[in-house]
Chains A and B, each alone.
Chain A
Amino acid sequence: MSFSKTTTRAIFILIFTALVSTAFIGCGGNTGSGGEIRLQGAGATFPNPLYQKWLSEYGKLHANVKIDYQSIGSGGGIQQIQARTVDFGASDAPMSNDDLKSAPGEILHIPTVLGAVVLTYNLSGITQPLRFAPDVIADIYLGKIKNWSDPRLKTDNSGVSLPSGDITVVYRSDGSGTSAVFTDYLSKVSQEWKDKVGAGKSPKWPIGIGAKGNEGVTGQVKNTPNTIGYVELAYAVQNKLPVALIKNKSGSFVEPSIDAVTAAAAGSLATTPDDLRVSITDAAGATAYPISSYTYILAYKAQPDQVKGKTLVDFLWWGIHDGEKFAKELQYAPLPEEIVKRAEAKINSMTAGGQPLR
């Protein structure tokens, strides 16, 4: 094959112009036009469906505001807000003291909604929901209760014919807030769990098999008889999975539901510190579902930019008031009244250049 010189030259010029023009387009990407205000957020995957709903609803009300949210995971959200590469971050678990210290400014935790972790299982021929006491869950995940016909399971589930099969435990293999909430709960209800395993996004599970994501755990549980696993409440509801009743602090067996999760937050008010960083697992209250948690938006108290700061404050204010009504339809639990008030105070404390933004 032979090209004439002119053809070769033409091809080279074409490639060259293509390269140069892409470079220029790459430079001009971030400048908005026509008074548009852009905010960038990143973080937790769990509240992503709700936040996307918020962004589209808020966008309808404020045509000049363009907010993007990337669900890259809580860990990524914390890193990005620390590095100030985003205007707000999002995380399921509150930031640790170390993380807060290594940030270049004071970061506020604004709770947005609540979620819960539910136990799901695959046992043939069982129609009514199973009931679990906290120590039984811990001992199943510690590998001490090995069989479904264990007497301790039978006492809480009288009248249910439990099969005599080995329990296969399924856990989340990817680092996840769901695992963090679940192990935080187990650490509270079992001293042995706290000593041996502890709480975290990727704990060292004593037994079981790991599956990736809510969908992986569900797939594994659905396909393997005699399994038990844990997934997010919203995911379990949407996929109509069998879910277990769990015995709470006041001794009643509670079915996971949106109201029971809000009740857990309300039951933890006394122990909720001023910065709102709190674990509400094993909460007090007769109707409280014990494996619940907040999810937060993270923002700097001192905003670097007046216009962007004002937009962020308005958006957050809208979120914890008007935005809450979208929570239930997406299977998230709205904040209790008292927490909304305390979150208001947090939003009101945000400033830009020393001036309050609200």
Chain B
Amino acid sequence: MSNWRRRLSPTGNTGDAIFRAAMFAVASFMVLIVVAMILALASHSTLSIRQFGFGFLTDREWNPIKDQFGALAFIYGTIVSSLIALIISVPLSLGIAIFLVEQAPYYLARPITFLVELLAAIPSVVYGLWGIFVLAPFLRVYVEPPLARWFGWLPLFQGSITGIGLLTGGIILAIMVTPIISAVVRDVLSAVPNTQREAALALGATKWETTQVVLVNAAPGIAGAVILGLGRAIGETMAVTMVIGNRPEISLSLFQPSYTLASVIANEFTEATADIYLSSLVELGLILFFVTFVVNAIARLLVWRVTRRTTSVGMAV
């Protein structure tokens, strides 16, 4: 038997060796795709990187007619809309998952689980249409006027009310990521061994305290679910572009239109002819890649710190 075979498969089995090699090839294919994407994005955006340099990230001006390109307004829109989405969807998803796993009777849990998973499968353009025709008018008439009346002193809720804007974009994202996050959290919670619950109950813990123990155990998995949802929110294009107002502007008010990285690429790429324009759009793609990466890293770091603390607290209790 030749040397490479032995290295691939210590047991000396040919089938194992082939299997191992095939799986290795598949895994490295994934890495290759990521590297190839970064390289392609970087090489196609050289022109704008060279021309605008670091200023591309801090310039909020985007004017294709005058060949002025800056990404700040899009970065802002992407991050803020995703944050709104998480603020709304994380508590909601946790609630749904806890209800389904810890409290709901079997005859309720099954249909609700099915519905949640169904929501996750709806194409985003359908969410977008629903956003234009149902959500935006609803927010314009029933949600935004009271917000402006009671919280109008906050810069967040000022300006004209159209039902279209950052808030609507964030809410539609929240609705889109909730099924994903809650489905994963549900799986994570049901994976927590029942012995944990039994132990807590045996020590005289209430239902609520037991749930806390389960949550602490499931924290890393919950974090993974949130990150998954965040990834979808950052990259979402169609639904957001239909309700966010598509305006590269940075305004504190959530009622004002905004724009996201993914949306502007989708909107302007087909009709961009000038080289520097195309190059700038590709650089936005590179930034989107980078933003996703950084946000993911931060989320993971946060989770790591939080879980470490809560686990030690849990142990002390």
Instruction: Compute how far the CA of A198 lies from the CA of B63 in the bound complex, rounded to whole angstroms.
Output: 10
- Whether the pair B64, A203 counts as a contact (CB closer than 8 A) is yes
- Whether the pair A223, B65 counts as a contact (CB closer than 8 A) is no
Task: Check A72 for interface membership: any CB of B closer than 8 A.
Answer: yes
**Beta-carbon contacts of B60-71 to A below 8 Å, as 1s and 0s?**
011111100000
Please give, as numbers and ranges, the residues of chain A lying within 8 Å of B241 by CB-CB distance.
173, 212
Q: Given A212-B241, A216-B242, does the pair A203, B65 have CB atoms closer than 8 Å?
A: yes
Please give, as numbers and ranges, the residues of chain B lying within 8 Å of A200 by CB-CB distance.
64-65
Within 8 A of A (CB), among B140-181: 140, 160, 162-165
Of all chain A residues, the one with the shortest Cβ separation from B132 is A219
Q: Contacting chain A: which of B26-34, B113-121, B190-198, B270-278?
A: B270-278
Instruction: Compute how far the CA of A204 lies from the CA of B69 in the bound complex, rounded to whole angstroms.
Output: 11
Within 8 A of B (CB), among A190-246: 197-205, 208-212, 216, 219-220, 223-224
Task: Check A62 for interface membership: any CB of B closer than 8 A.
Answer: no
Please give, as numbers and ranges, the residues of chain B lying within 8 Å of A174 by CB-CB distance.
266-268, 270-271
Chain A residues with a Cβ closer than 8 Å to the other chain, count: 37
Instruction: Compute how far the CA of A12 lies from the CA of B19 in the bound complex, rounded to whole angstroms.
Output: 11
- Whether the pair A73, B163 counts as a contact (CB closer than 8 A) is no
- Whether the pair A75, B65 counts as a contact (CB closer than 8 A) is no
Please give, as numbers and ranges, the residues of chain A lying within 8 Å of B247 by CB-CB distance.
205, 208-210
Task: Check A74 for interface membership: any CB of B closer than 8 A.
Answer: yes
- Whether the pair B15, A175 counts as a contact (CB closer than 8 A) is no
Q: Given A201-B64, A223-B132, does the pair A75, B242 have CB atoms closer than 8 Å?
A: no
Please give, as numbers and ranges, the residues of chain A lying within 8 Å of B257 by CB-CB distance.
208-210
- CB proximity of B254 to chain A, nearest CB, Å: 14
Please give, as numbers and ranges, the residues of chain B lying within 8 Å of A201 by CB-CB distance.
64, 271
- Whether the pair A202, B160 counts as a contact (CB closer than 8 A) is no
Chain B residues with a Cβ closer than 8 Å to the other chain, count: 36
**Beta-carbon contacts of B18-38 to A below 8 Å, as 1s and 0s?**
100000000000000000000
Of all chain A residues, the one with the shortest Cβ separation from B247 is A210
Please give, as numbers and ranges, the residues of chain B lying within 8 Å of A351 by CB-CB distance.
none
Task: Check A106 for interface membership: any CB of B closer than 8 A.
Answer: no
Task: Check B221 for interface membership: any CB of A closer than 8 A.
Answer: no
Within 8 A of B (CB), among A70-91: 72-76, 78-79
Task: Check B4 for interface membership: any CB of A closer than 8 A.
Answer: no
Task: Check A112 for interface membership: any CB of B closer than 8 A.
Answer: no
Of all chain A residues, the one with the shortest Cβ separation from B238 is A212
Task: Check A64 for interface membership: any CB of B closer than 8 A.
Answer: no
Of all chain B residues, the one with the shortest Cβ separation from A95 is B273
- CB proximity of A216 to chain B, nearest CB, Å: 6
Please give, as numbers and ranges, the residues of chain A lying within 8 Å of B129 by CB-CB distance.
219
- Whether the pair A197, B270 counts as a contact (CB closer than 8 A) is no
Task: Check A166 for interface membership: any CB of B closer than 8 A.
Answer: yes
Q: Given A210-B245, A212-B241, does the pair A224, B162 have CB atoms closer than 8 Å?
A: yes
**Beta-carbon contacts of A88-102 to B below 8 Å, as 1s and 0s?**
000000000001000
Please give, as numbers and ranges, the residues of chain B lying within 8 Å of A75 by CB-CB distance.
270-273
Of all chain A residues, the one with the shortest Cβ separation from B160 is A166
- Whether the pair A175, B268 counts as a contact (CB closer than 8 A) is yes
- CB proximity of B219 to chain A, nearest CB, Å: 33
**Beta-carbon contacts of B266-299 to A below 8 Å, as 1s and 0s?**
1111111100000000000000000000000000
Which residue in B63, B242, B266 is a CB contact (below 8 Å) of A204? B63
Please give, as numbers and ranges, the residues of chain A lying within 8 Å of B61 by CB-CB distance.
204
Of all chain A residues, the one with the shortest Cβ separation from B256 is A209
Please give, as numbers and ranges, the residues of chain B lying within 8 Å of A128 by CB-CB distance.
none
Of all chain B residues, the one with the shortest Cβ separation from A201 is B271
Task: Check B246 for interface membership: any CB of A closer than 8 A.
Answer: yes
Please give, as numbers and ranges, the residues of chain B lying within 8 Å of A220 by CB-CB distance.
132, 164
Task: Check B54 for interface membership: any CB of A closer than 8 A.
Answer: no
Instruction: Compute how far the CA of A72 lies from the CA of B273 in the bound complex, rounded to whole angstroms.
Output: 13
Q: Given A198-B65, A209-B247, A212-B241, does the pair A224, B163 have CB atoms closer than 8 Å?
A: yes
Instruction: Compute how far the CA of A198 lies from the CA of B67 in the bound complex, rounded to whole angstroms.
Output: 12
Please give, as numbers and ranges, the residues of chain B lying within 8 Å of A198 by CB-CB distance.
65-66
Task: Check B106 for interface membership: any CB of A closer than 8 A.
Answer: no
Please give, as numbers and ranges, the residues of chain A lying within 8 Å of B137 by CB-CB distance.
223-224
- CB proximity of A313 to chain B, nearest CB, Å: 26
Task: Check A348 for interface membership: any CB of B closer than 8 A.
Answer: no
Within 8 A of B (CB), among A153-212: 166, 168, 173-177, 197-205, 208-212
- Whether the pair A199, B162 counts as a contact (CB closer than 8 A) is no
- CB proximity of A69 to chain B, nearest CB, Å: 15
Task: Check A40 for interface membership: any CB of B closer than 8 A.
Answer: no
Please give, as numbers and ranges, the residues of chain B lying within 8 Å of A60 by CB-CB distance.
none
Please give, as numbers and ranges, the residues of chain A lying within 8 Å of B272 by CB-CB distance.
75, 175, 202
Instruction: Compute how far the CA of A200 lies from the CA of B165 in the bound complex, rounded to whole angstroms.
Output: 24
Residue among B64, B162, B248, B259 having the largest count of chain A Cβ atoms under 10 Å: B162
Instruction: Compute how far the CA of A211 lies from the CA of B272 in the bound complex, rounded to whole angstroms.
Output: 18
- Whether the pair A210, B246 counts as a contact (CB closer than 8 A) is yes
- Whether the pair B268, A204 counts as a contact (CB closer than 8 A) is no
Task: Check A144 for interface membership: any CB of B closer than 8 A.
Answer: no
Within 8 A of B (CB), among A1-55: 5, 8, 12
Of all chain A residues, the one with the shortest Cβ separation from B66 is A198
Q: Given A204-B62, A204-B65, A216-B242, does the pair A209, B162 have CB atoms closer than 8 Å?
A: yes
Given contacts A209-B165, A212-B267, A219-B129, 20 further A-B contacts (CB under 8 A): A75-B270, A75-B273, A76-B270, A173-B246, A174-B266, A174-B267, A174-B268, A175-B64, A175-B271, A199-B65, A201-B271, A204-B63, A204-B64, A204-B65, A209-B162, A210-B259, A216-B242, A220-B164, A224-B162, A224-B163
Q: What are 11 A-B pairs at a CB distance below 8 A?
A: A8-B18, A73-B271, A174-B266, A174-B270, A204-B61, A204-B66, A204-B248, A209-B165, A210-B245, A219-B129, A223-B163
Q: In the A-B complex, list the 7 residue pairs whose CB atoms are closest, starting with the nearest.
A: A175-B271, A210-B246, A173-B246, A73-B270, A209-B245, A200-B65, A204-B63
- B residues sitting closer than 8 Å to A (CB atoms) are 15, 18, 61-66, 129, 132-133, 136-137, 140, 160, 162-165, 241-242, 245-248, 257, 259, 263, 266-273
